[in-house]
Amino acid sequence: MMNIMHPALRRLDLNLLLIFDAIYRHSSVRLAADELAMSTSALSHALSRLRTALNDPLFYREGYRMCPSVYATQLAPSIASALKLLNQELTPQPEFIAAESSDCIQVAITDFTALCIFPALMHQLQHEAPGLRFELRYLPHSPALTELLAGEVDLALGFSTPEDLQHQELEEINWFEDEYVVISNPRRTQLTLEDYLTARHLVITPWNEKRGVLDIQLEQMGYSRQIALKTPSMLSAPFIVAQSDLLMALPRYAAEKLIPAASIKIFPLPFAISPFEVKIYSHKRSGQRGATKWLKAKLQTLADEINP
């Protein structure tokens, strides 16, 4: 037999508790009716229903006052406390106003997604939302389903993966698309497919993955490349390339951002491959928060400005 939750509440119209609380506080049917914007006859009818439901007179008249019964006196503190708590908790979420907000948004990132987004984003938000705060966390894997589900992050900025379609509870935005290029030290003068295949390579592996999309594409073409160094961080990579014979493939946007910092040269990738894609992931249970929705809209606007 199924266990029925809250049997006492299921047989009671909870609106009647507001009637009880108002009469108890005012000791008056008329004043309670005025507070609740009801007629006195409607309130008296509601009180009659509550008396029947609780099997107690609850209030009796002494002159002009409605005095509580012993049972009503026992109930009153609990009902008042419950109503206060419900009123506080059920207050509608305030509208998000970016210029006034001090919310903290937690975003899962990789080195590349942070480089793509946050310099331009923070430049804009210092004027539009100066109080808005961010906590950036390294994306442990893409698309960070577990972290999004647990509410540990509000958004995840990740790469497109074949597993994305398996996660129906995720919402995703195709945020950024770019072509792959290759960087080398400035002494190199050309980069053919043969040059690429005979060279040694530095590869960024943010999740310590065994193979990247370029290796999969080369394998389908019947080729492979010699990987001399793998690193999870992009911070040191361009400086290593600048002082070695290593090649490194990365999106053009990032490569051009790195030129002022490191002595590198950019070449087209000498074989065809699908564009690099960055997606914005959010979970359906948390992605509707005002700050999160606003940030997703802001990021979409920003993508239109920086997409090549």
Cβ neighbours of residue 223 closer than 8 Å, sequence gap 6 or more:
197
Q: How many Å apart are CA 245 and CA 224, to the nearest integer?
A: 18
Domains of the chain (ranges; CATH) run 7-88 (1.10.10.10), 103-177+277-306 (3.40.190.10), 180-273 (3.40.190.10)
Give the three-class secondary structure for 272.
Answer: coil
pLDDT in tens, 77-129: 999 999 999 888 887 777 889 999 999 999 988 888 888 889 889 999 999 99
Report the amino acid identity of residue 230: K
- Assess contact for 181 and 252: CB atoms under 8 A: yes
pLDDT in tens, 204-259: 988 777 888 899 999 999 999 999 999 988 889 999 999 999 999 999 989 998 99
- Assess contact for 169 and 149: CB atoms under 8 A: yes
pTM to 2 decimal places? 0.68
Helices (H) then strands (E): counts for the chain:
12, 12
Phi, psi torsion values for 225, nearest 5 degrees? -125, 160
Q: How many Å apart are CA 261 and CA 227, to the nearest integer?
A: 24
According to DSSP, residue 247 is labeled B
